[in-house]
Amino acid sequence: MQRRKFIKSVASTSLITSLGGFPLSAFAKEDLIKLTILHTNDLHSRIEPFPMDGSRNEGLGGAARRATLIQKIRSEAEHSLLLDAGDIFQGTPYFNFFLGELEFKLMSAMKYDAATIGNHDFDAGIEGLAKQMPLANFPLLNANYDFSDTELNGKIKPYKIFQKGDLKIGVFGVGIELEGLVAAEMYKNTRYLDPLKKANHYAKMLRKEEKCDLVICLSHLGYKYRGDKISDIVLAQQSKNIDVIIGGHTHTFMKSAETYYNLDQKEVIVNQVGWAGMMLGRLDFYFERNRKGKCVGCGNSLIK
Partner 1 sequence: MRKFTFFLFGLCLLGLQLISCKSVNYLTNVEANRLDVSSESNLVPDPAITKLITPYKIELDKVMNEVIGETAIDLKKERPESTLGNWMADAIHRKAEEKLGEPIDFAIQNYGGIRIPVIKKGVITRGKIYELMPFDNKILVLYLNKSEVEELVQHIVSARGWPVSYGIKINELTKEDISITINEKALEEGLIYKVALPDYIANGGSRSYFLKDKKRKDLQYFIRDALIQDVVDFRSKNEVINSPKEGRFIIVKKEE
| Window 268-287: residues binding partner 1 (CB under 8 A) | 269, 271, 273, 277-287
| Window 212-241: residues binding partner 1 (CB under 8 A) | 213-214
Query: Of the two residues 68 and 137, which places its CB atom closer to partner 1 in the complex?
Result: 68
Minimum distance from residue 225 beta carbon to partner 1 (Å): 15
Question: Which contiguous run of DSSP H or E holds residue 77?
Answer: none
From the list 6, 56, 64, 148, which residue makes contact with partner 1 (rule: CB under 8 A)? 64
Radius of gyration of the chain measured on its C-alpha atoms? 19
Q: What burial class does residue 45 get, using C-beta atoms within 10 Å of its C-beta: 0-12 exposed, 13-18 middle, 19+ buried?
A: buried
From the list 254, 260, 268, 275, which residue makes contact with partner 1 (rule: CB under 8 A)? 254
The answer for residues whose C-beta is within 8 angstroms of residue 215's C-beta and 6 or more apart is 169, 170, 172, 203, 206, 207, 241, 242, 243, 244
| Window 164-183: residues binding partner 1 (CB under 8 A) | 166-167, 180, 183
From the list 74, 77, 105, 238, which residue makes contact with partner 1 (rule: CB under 8 A)? 105
178: nearest Cα among 165, 164, 163, 193: 193
The contact mask relative to partner 1 for 20-59 (x = CB under 8 A, - = no) is xxx-x--------x-------------xxx---------x
User: Number of residues in contact with partner 1, rule: CB under 8 A?
Assistant: 83
Supply φ then ψ for residue 160, to 5 degrees: -145, 145
Taking the CB of residue 65, how many other CB atoms lie within 10 A of it? 14
| Window 114-133: residues binding partner 1 (CB under 8 A) | 123
Query: Of the two residues 49 and 195, which places its CB atom closer to partner 1 in the complex?
Result: 49
| 184 touching partner 1, by CB under 8 A | no
Supply φ then ψ for residue 268, to 5 degrees: -125, 130
| 289 touching partner 1, by CB under 8 A | yes
DSSP labels, 24-41: GGGS-GGGEEEEEEEEE-
Query: Of the two residues 93 and 154, which places its CB atom closer to partner 1 in the complex?
Result: 93
| 149 touching partner 1, by CB under 8 A | no
Query: Of the two residues 46 and 220, which places its CB atom closer to partner 1 in the complex?
Result: 46
Give the full edge-to-edge strand order of the sheet including 267-271.
159-164, 167-174, 214-219, 244-246, 267-271, 258-261
From the list 65, 157, 201, 204, which residue makes contact with partner 1 (rule: CB under 8 A)? 65
Instruction: Give start and end residues of each alpha helix (H) in 77-120.
Output: 93-98, 101-109
| 90 touching partner 1, by CB under 8 A | yes
From the list 85, 106, 136, 140, which residue makes contact with partner 1 (rule: CB under 8 A)? 106
| 153 touching partner 1, by CB under 8 A | no
From the list 3, 56, 211, 229, which residue makes contact with partner 1 (rule: CB under 8 A)? 211
| 298 touching partner 1, by CB under 8 A | yes
Q: Are 202 and 172 in contact (CB under 8 A)?
A: yes
